[in-house]
Structure 1
Amino acid sequence: MKKLIDDIAALEPDGKPRLDVVIATHRHADHISGFDSPLWRTVTVKEVWLPWTEKEDDRDAMRLRAEQQRLALALTAAFAANPPSEDVRLLADDAVINVGAMETLQRGFAGSPKRRFLTAPTEGSRLLDVDILPGIAVHLLGPTRDEDALKAMDPRADESFLALWATDATRLSGKKPAPFAPMWTNPSAMPLDPSTAQTIRTVNDQLGLELAFRLDSVLNNTSLMLVFVIGKAVLLFPGDAQWGSWKLALEDANCRALLERVTFLKVGHHGSHNSTPVSFVDKCLAPRKLSDKISSMISVIPRGTWDIPRHPLELALADVTGNRTVRSDKNDPLPPEFEREGSFWIENNIDH
C-alpha cells in the first residue's frame, strides 16, 4: 500500500498524494480491502463514488444490507456445523462486511471529500456532472433501484460463457451441439441406480455453498457500472455487475449505443461466466473488430479450483480484440499498448 501511495504522491509537484476521485464499485473484499489501511488518511481526495446501496440512511439500502447480514449470519452457522471446502471459504471471505475498508470509504481520506451514492435509472444511462474531471463524460449504467434487476443474477444459457458451446461458431446461430459424439454414447447402457443418481443431482446442494453464492451474487449486482468517454475512447468498467444490470443496458437504445462504441473493457467479475454477456461480445464488440482498436483487461488471481477467467470468454475476447486482451496473473509478453509495472499493475495506453 505504501508503494501505491508513494506513486500517487510522485505525480504531484509538491510530493503530496492527491486523487480527484476514488471509486468503489461494491463492498466485496477483493475490490475494497486495500482501503483498510491508515495510510489513506494522508491522501487528499475530492470525491468518493459508491453505489446507492451504501448510503447509510437510505431505507432501501438499509433493507438490502440487512438481507446481506442475515445471509452472512446463516453462512457462519452453516460453516460451524459443516466446515466448508477451500473454494467455498474463499467465496465467503470476499463477502464479509469489510468494516475497516468501508469506514475509510465512508468517512476517511484527507480533504473532506464529497461522497456520491450513485443510482442508475431503470431506462437509459445517467450522465454524471463531474466538473473535477474536465474533458471526460461519465455515464452511469448501474446499479438501478429496480429489485427485479438486482435479483437477476445469471443470464440465460445463450448469454453465458459457461457452456462449452459458447466456444463454437454455432453460438452465433444458437444451435447447441451434442455434448458427446455418437461414437462415445451407448443407448443400451444400464441406468444409474436411484441412490447414485440422487447423489449426482444434489452434489452442489450443500447449504454453505448455496448461501455463499447467494451472498456473493447479492453484492455483485449492486456494482457501479460506468462508461468513461474521453475523446474517441470509450472505456467500460462494469465492476462485478451480473445479468440484471447488463440486461437493462443491452435492452435500452441509449445504453446499447454506448456499449457499441466501447474501445476498452475492464472485464467484469474476473472473467466469470455471468458478468460478460455473449451478445455484448458478439453484437456490440465483434462487428467493429476490423475497423476499431479494442482492448480488454482481466484482473484475476487464481483461487481454489474456480474456473476463472472462463476460457470461452477469453477466446471470444481474443478474437474481437486481436489478442489485445491481457490477464493480471500472466507473465506472457504484452502487446505494444501495454506496460507492466513490476508485479504491481499493468498499464494500457489508449489512443483517445
Structure 2
Amino acid sequence: MDNQLLIRAYSVGVGDCIYVRIPKARKKGGRVDDFHILIDCGTRAVGDLLKTALDHLKGELPDEGGKKRLDLLLISHEHEDHIKGIDPKWFDAIRIENLWMSVAMDRDHPQAKFAHQLHDMAATAMRNIALRGLALSPELQDIVDRYGIGNDGAVDALRTTLPERNGITPLYVHADLKPAALQPKTLTGATFKVLGPEFDIDATYLGDAGPAILHGFAAATGVLAPKAGGGDVDTPANISASDFQRLRSRMMSSAFAFAEEEGEVVNNTSVMLLIEWRGRRLLFVGDAEWNRAYRDKKKNFAWNTAWKLRKEELGKPIDFLKIGHHGSINSTPWNDKEDGEVTEPSQILDAILPLPGAGARPKAKAVVSTERTTYKVIPRATLLLEIGKRVGNTRIYANELGPDQIADLPNYDAYEQKWLDRPQPVRTDLETRLTGKGFVDVLIEPAGD
C-alpha cells in the first residue's frame, strides 16, 4: 500500500466521512511523508457513528507535536450529513493544518447575499415548524432536521473555533481560484483543482429568480411562527378557525417547497474537488446536483455549470468518483428516463465514466456512502447499476449477502431485491453487512502500474 492512494469511506449511514491518504505527497523540512485529508464529517443518523469513525481515523494519522496531524479538512457544504461530526471536542487531539470550505459558507461573501437570506429564512421557517411538534412524514421531517440548532454549532466551529485553535485561516474555495491558492504549502506530487462552485453564488445558482424566490418565501412563512412562549398561535378574529387552518396548511406546504429549493442551492454550491496524482484523476463532488441543461442568468445546477464553464477538466475521463448525494437520482448526471436519448447529463456521464468497449473491463473506480432508508431515491438502484457498467470495483450483492444480512433493509422488496443480482459500485451500507469493518477502502494505483 506504500505506493497506492487510499480513499476510505466510513460507514456513517446517510452521510459522508471520507479519508484520503496520498502517499509521499507531503514535504516539509526535507522530509517526505503521506498527505492526509478528511472530506466532510456528517450523517443524518446518530452521531455515535461519526465518533467511531473519527476515533478510527486518529489511528491512521501521524503523531506530530503531541497531536495527530490532519493536513487538510475539506467541507463540501453545510448540510448536517456533511458537518454533523464537526464537534470541537472530537477534534481535540487533531491538529488541522489547512481548512477549506465552499465559498457559499462565507457569510461575508458579497456574491452570496440572496443565498444567505434564503438560508436564514428556511432555517427560521423549519425551526418554527419543529416547535409546533407536528407529526411529519419521514421526508418532511428530514427537511426540518437539516435546519436544527446543532447545525449552527458545527458551522461556528468551522468558522471560528477550529481555526483559532489551530492558528489557521479558513480558505473559502471556488472554481475561479488560481492554482497557487489551491496548493497547500506542504503538498507535493499532487495537484488540487476546484470545478465548483463558481464565485458568484447568487448569479449562478439563483440567477434572476433570486428576489422573487425570497419574496415568495417571506409570504409563505408569515403565519407559521408559534407563540413567543410556545404553543400554537390563536386564530385571528377576521377568519374562521377552519379557514385559518387551511391557510396554515397551504403556507406550510409552500414553506417546505421553498426549503427544498434552498437545499438545492446548498447542494449545488458543494465543492467539486479534482485531485490529480501520478496520472490519475479523482473527483469528489459533495452533493452537487444536475439539471437538464445550463441556462444563462437562470438558476443553474452544479454539474451543468461545471460542464459549461469547466469542460476542459470535466470533459475527460476520471479514475475515481465519489458518487454524489449518497446515490441519489439527482446527483450523478445520467439519463434518468433510461430511454436511450442523448441528453446533456448523459453526455457528462459518458465523458467522465465512458462505457468500456466490447469485451473490455472498466478501470475506473467509485464508492457511494449511503444507507438504504425509507427515503425512496437514496440510493437510486438503477443509477447505481448504470454506474456499475462503467467502473471496475463492483459487487453482485445478491451472491454474497445472506438472508439474515438483508432482512432488515428498509424497502428491500421495492428498491433492492430486483437489482442486487447485477454489478453495482461498492457501497458503505452493504459492505458493512458483509465485512463488519465500518468502512470501505478503495485503492488507486499510479498510472502505468
Instruction: Tell me the TM-score normalized by structure 2.
Output: 0.58
1:92 equivalent to 2:144? Answer yes
Match of 1:136 among 190, 195, 214: 190
**Residue deviations 1:249-282, cap 9 Å, x none?**
2234x53444523110001111112211112223
d(CA) in 2 for partners of 1:28 and 1:137?
Answer: 27
Please say if 1:108 is aligned against 2:161: yes
1:212 and 1:331 map into 2 onto residues whose CA distance is: 33
Other structure's SS at 1:347 match: strand
> What is the rounded CA distance, in whole Å, between the counterparts of 2:258 and 2:59 in structure 1?
42
1:12 maps onto 2:56 in alignment: no
Q: CA deviation at 1:235?
A: 0.6
* Per-residue Cα deviation, 1:32-71 (whole angstroms, up to 9, x for no partner): 1001241213311111000112223223335422220112
Distance 1:219 1:315, change over 3 A: same
Distance 1:209 1:300 in 2: 24
Q: Which runs of 5+ in 1 are unaligned?
A: 153-202, 335-339
Equivalent residue for 2:279, pick from 232, 241, 244: 232
CA shift in 2, pair 1:141/1:7, >3 Å? closer
Q: 1:207 aligns with which of 251, 254, 258?
A: 254
8 A contact 1:300–1:309 mirrored in 2: yes
Q: Which amino acid aligns with 2:262?
A: L
Q: Is the 8 A contact 2:327 2:378 kept in 1?
A: yes
Instruction: Specify the alignment match of 1:248 in structure 2.
Output: 305
Q: Which residue of 2 aligns with 1:331?
A: 431
Contact 1:228 1:236 in 2 (8 A): yes
Q: Distance in 1 between matches of 2:125 and 2:161?
A: 31
Deviations 1:126-159 (CA, angstroms, capped at 9, x unpaired): 532333221111110111115353138xxxxxxx
Task: Give the stretch that moved more between structures: 28-37 or 87-96.
Answer: 87-96
In structure 2, what is the Cα distance between the partners aligned to 1:348 and 1:19?
20
SS at the partner of 2:104?
helix
Report the secondary structure of 1:215's partner residue: helix
The reply on whether 1:342 has 2:437 as its aligned counterpart is yes
Deviations 1:146-194 (A, max 9, x none): 5353138xxxxxxxxxxxxxxxxxxxxxxxxxxxxxxxxxxxxxxxxxx
The alignment partner of 1:27 has SS state of coil
User: Contact 2:88 / 2:161 at 8 angstroms: preserved in 1?
Assistant: no
Distance 1:39 1:81 in 2: 31
Q: 1:94 & 1:259 partners in 2: Cα distance?
A: 33
CA distance in 1, matches of 2:201, 2:121: 21
Is 2:173 the partner of 1:118?
yes
User: Could you tell me which residue of structure 1 aligns to residue 73 of structure 2?
Assistant: 22
For residues 291 and 132 of structure 1, do their structure 2 counterparts lie closer, same or farther at Cα, with a shift above 3 Å needed?
Answer: farther
* One-letter code aligned to 2:123: A
1:77-136 Cα shifts (integer Å, max 9, x gaps): 455396421221123312446122112211233431231011223xxx853233322111
SS of match in other structure, 1:265: strand
Please name the residue that 1:300 is paired with: 370
Supply the distance in 2 between the matched residues of 1:212 and 1:57 (Cα, whole angstroms): 22
* TM-score of the pair, normalised by structure 1: 0.73
| Cα pair 2:362 2:392 within 8 Å, conserved | no
Answer yes or no: is the 8 Å Cα contact 1:75–1:211 preserved in 2.
no
Determine helix, strand or coil for the equivalent of 2:170.
Answer: strand
Percent identity of paired positions between Structure 1 and Structure 2 = 27
Partner of 2:379: 309
Q: Give, in whole Å, the separation in 2 of the partners of 1:210 and 1:329.
A: 30
* Contact 1:262 1:294 (C-alpha < 8 Å) held by counterparts: yes
Query: Distance between the aligned counterparts of 2:52 and 2:205, measured in 1?
Result: 36
Q: Do the aligned residues in 1 keep the contact of 2:113 with 2:202 (CA within 8 Å)? A: no
- Which one-letter code corresponds to 1:282 in the other structure? D
Letter in 1 for 2:264: S
Give distance in 2, aligned partners of 1:332 and 1:102: 29
Aligned counterpart for 1:284 among listed residues 338, 341, 352: 352
CA–CA distance in structure 1, aligned partners of residues 255 and 137 of structure 2:
9
In structure 2, give the amino acid aligned to 1:223: S
* 1:323-349 deviation line (CA, Å, top 9, x unaligned): 531111113898xxxxx6712x21111
Give the partner amino acid of 1:221.
N
Which amino acid is 1:91 matched to? I
Question: How far 1:208 sits from its partner (Å)?
Answer: 5.0
8 Å contact kept, 1:136–1:230: yes
Alpha-carbon contact 2:306-2:314 (below 8 Å) kept:
no
Instruction: Specify every segment of 5 or more residues in structure 2 that has no aligned partner in the other structure, as ranges.
Output: 1-50, 208-249, 291-300, 335-345, 395-424
Partner of 2:103: 52
